[in-house]
């Protein structure tokens, strides 16, 4: 039982939970355990539909346990893992193995996407429970090879025939290996990203469910067809915040200049989803010359806390954060809705009014660092997953791994 919950409408009510679902909203009823929400802002658990949980041979960077603990500590109760693992998820057998790995190690809800390459068994992975197809690389990135237009068109046709959701990494890449963050920005320019978005939208069959990942400029957001995702690092960071050759800020698409970052906020109402693109690399991996450093940064634990600080400062509304981090991603993916009505998934995070600053030493990701160090944030005090208190006051309490298969899933 959650008592004294202030609902998004402003009404205060008690929420009775059983078997992971909301059963009653209104006056209090008898319960085995009660959580008093007085003084907290209660949000539905976030769905981060773009994470790289690593594991397997990359477990030194992150694994399912550390990555999902980090997620829960940031108010995220469902994560969607991307398939550019080592090896990439291209067969039903590899997808099932990835799900088993998550079932053994994860502490919250999860889904797994299927890789989109010419020789992938797309239909087999759909039946095996792939949530979506992609991140599909229209340009090369860490552990992902770029696909040309004709190859993409053929793969889109195959995915559309399966009634699948395709998620797109859209960029243009040019020039020599960059030596600085500004070089990286120019090599994967915002203008090139917008052109890639337009081109890819033109390749997709009419009616296809198309989702653009991590768009980094206002022009790209406006050019997109389908649903649009942005990341906290493109909203809150620019390459002007870092030394020119700071590899910790190297990510694809690149951090932009300060003006471009501010302009991205002008599209807040058009943005459907905020997702972290949590892509941890170790400090030694990042401590190499810029030209050879891997792209990617951690962010699943800081995503909602950064947005909650923006709510408290009056920059955005609480309703828009709920929509973009919980309700819209759940709707896009077709998974049960977390919320405040009978039948909703009973996933919640309780946020205090106190704004703190991000301290990487207090985060739970295995990689041990954050590009958001020192930024204002509001971290949840308690997180409920499936009606169970999973995290409280800095400590993991319960493990609630729940697999969410995609719409095409056919049990063996």
DSSP secondary structure, 277-304, as one string: -B----HHHHSS-GGGPPP-B--TTTHH
CA dist 371 and 373 (Å) reads 6
Catalytic-residue membership of 395: no
Do the annotations mark residue 100 as ligand-binding?
A: no
DSSP 58: B
Local structure of 391: helix, strand or coil: strand
Local structure of 264: helix, strand or coil: helix
Catalytic residue among 277, 347, 353, 359: 277
Do the annotations mark residue 169 as ligand-binding?
A: yes
Contact 91, 321 (CB under 8 A): no
Do the annotations mark residue 281 as ligand-binding?
A: yes
Contact 131, 112 (CB under 8 A): yes
- Strands 209-212 vs 227-230: parallel, antiparallel or unpaired: parallel
Length of the chain: 412
CA dist 384 and 35 (Å) reads 10
Q: Where are the beta strands (DSSP E) in 338-399?
A: 348-351, 356-357, 376-377, 382-385, 388-392, 395-396
Do the annotations mark residue 285 as ligand-binding?
A: no
Give the list of residues 6+ apart from residue 388 with CB closer than 8 angstroms, or none: 20, 397, 398, 400
CA dist 117 and 97 (Å) reads 19
CA dist 156 and 35 (Å) reads 47
Do the annotations mark residue 54 as ligand-binding?
A: yes
**Which residue in 232, 214, 394, 390 sits closest to 307, CA to CA?**
232
Contact 387, 18 (CB under 8 A): yes
DSSP 252: S
Q: Which residues line the annotated binding site for substrate? A: 52-54, 84, 281
Q: Which residues line the annotated binding site? A: 50, 52-54, 84, 135, 169, 214, 277, 281
Q: Which residues line the annotated binding site for Zn(2+)? A: 50, 52, 135, 169, 214, 277
Catalytic residues: 277
């Amino acid at each position: 039982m959650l008592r004294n919950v202030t609902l998004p409408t402003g009404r205060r009510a008690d929420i009775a939970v059983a078997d992971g679902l909301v059963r009653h909203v209104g006056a209090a009823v008898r319960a085995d355990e009660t959580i008093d929400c007085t003084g907290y802002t209660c949000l539905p658990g976030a769905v981060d539909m773009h994470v790289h949980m690593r594991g397997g041979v990359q477990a030194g960077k992150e694994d399912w346990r550390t990555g999902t603990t980090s997620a829960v500590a940031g108010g995220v109760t469902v994560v969607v893992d991307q398939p550019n693992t080592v090896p990439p998820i291209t067969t039903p057998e590899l997808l099932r193995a990835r799900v088993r790995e998550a079932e053994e190690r994860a502490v919250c809800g999860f889904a797994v996407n299927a890789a989109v390459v010419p020789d992938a068994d797309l239909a087999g992975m759909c039946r095996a429970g792939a949530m979506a197809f992609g991140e599909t690389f229209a340009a090369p990135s860490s552990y992902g090879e770029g696909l040309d237009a004709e190859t993409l068109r053929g793969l889109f046709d195959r995915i559309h025939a399966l009634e699948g959701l395709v998620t797109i990494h859209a960029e243009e890449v040019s020039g020599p290996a960059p030596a600085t963050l500004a070089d990286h920005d120019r090599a994967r320019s915002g203008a090139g990203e917008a052109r890639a978005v337009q081109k890819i939208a033109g390749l997709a069959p009419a009616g296809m469910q198309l989702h653009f990942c991590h768009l980094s400029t206002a022009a790209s957001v406006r050019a997109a067809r389908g649903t649009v995702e942005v990341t906290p690092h493109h909203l809150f960071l620019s390459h002007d915040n870092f030394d020119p050759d700071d590899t910790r800020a190297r990510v694809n698409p690149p951090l932009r200049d300060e003006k471009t970052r501010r302009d991205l906020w002008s599209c807040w109402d058009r943005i459907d989803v905020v997702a972290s693109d949590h892509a941890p690399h170790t400090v030694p991996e990042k401590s190499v010359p810029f030209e050879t450093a891997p792209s990617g940064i951690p962010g699943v634990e800081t995503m909602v806390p950064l947005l909650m600080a923006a709510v408290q400062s009056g920059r955005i509304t609480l309703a828009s954060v709920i929509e973009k981090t919980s309700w819209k991603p759940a709707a896009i993916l077709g998974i049960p809705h977390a919320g405040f009505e009978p039948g909703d998934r009973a996933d919640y995070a309780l946020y205090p009014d106190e704004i703190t600053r991000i301290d990487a030493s207090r985060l739970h990701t295995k990689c041990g660092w954050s590009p958001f160090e020192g930024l204002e944030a509001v971290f949840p005090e308690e997180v409920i997953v499936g009606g169970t208190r999973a995290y409280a006051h800095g400590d993991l309490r319960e493990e609630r791994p729940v697999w969410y298969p995609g719409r095409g899933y056919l049990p063996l």
